Amino acid sequence: MIPLWLPLTLLSAFCLATSDALTKKALAGHNEYLVTWLRLLPALPIFLLPLPFIAIPRLSPEFYYCALGALPLEALALVLYTKALKLSPLNLTLPLLSVTALLLLVVPFLMLGERISPCGAAGILLIAGGGYLLKSNPGDHGILAPFRALVSERGSLCMLCVAVIYSVTSTLGKRAIAVSSPLFFAAFYIPLLVLILTPVALYKGRGELRSMARNGTVRASALPALCYALQIVAHVYAINLTNVAYMIAVKRTSLLFGVLYGRYLFQERGGLLATAIMLSGVVLILVGG
């Protein structure tokens, strides 16, 4: 029987890839702070409207330490992610996200005491390796080009920082969910994240927001935001059901969905070998994780 966390994680990965593709299509070329903000702002009603009907759990100091500790890091990671995609080529930035899966072999154990089976660890390594190969382009500058680019490409350095931050925020988020509930955590966390991003986005994008509202760009951000909200809801439920490392590793299959979108929307090409490696990693986690 397939565990519930797996389809939830795949749903989260699919919605994330869809949001990425729609964001690239609707908001390409705009200020990265506004892009980050508009990816979350239209989704606020999804989290705020159910709040009066959600049972509020008894919140311990641990919940506040984890949630409030993760918030500024999450905001920083979102901005750096968008900036990385804007500053540098995709094949020099997205492969570095695989570092998150590698760090999650260690970080959840140190912070939560979560243990990973040898088979699960092998699956995580395969997904990380496949994800790296999927978005890199070894033929042009070698397989280590994304890491060599850390010296010259600011976008690559930004994405490496994102990968490190996500290994911490994913772990903190898992603990905050465990001592509260998935839906309450999302309803608490996302509005506060938007609150943190709002003054920064309005200041950094002050010369562009009005024109974006006039030409329909703000309206076009609603669909990417909806997909992003759905991936958050699926994420918080999935991560509560399994180890952080397994869930985040499988969520990296968003890269596979991204390849399909890239092929059909942006005429990009992806690798079959890397896809097979990632899928074999998912199977290993499912069988022996």
Q: What's the domain range around 171? A: 5-288
Convert the pLDDT of each residue in 225-273 to its tens digit.
899 999 999 999 999 998 998 999 888 888 777 777 766 665 555 566 7
**pLDDT value at position 269?**
57
Q: 28-42, 183-197, 269-283: which has the minimum mean pLDDT? A: 269-283
Structure tokens at 187: 């309803």
**pLDDT value at position 67?**
94
Total domains in the fold of the chain: 1
Angle 124-225-19 (CA atoms, 0-180°, nearest 5)? 45
Q: Is the pTM of this model over 0.75?
A: yes
Convert the pLDDT of each residue in 88-146 to its tens digit.
776 677 778 888 888 888 888 888 888 888 888 888 888 888 877 776 665 555 666 66
Q: 99-103, 151-155, 161-165: which has the minimum mean pLDDT? A: 151-155
CA dist., res. 48 & res. 58, Å (int) = 19
**pLDDT value at position 258?**
74
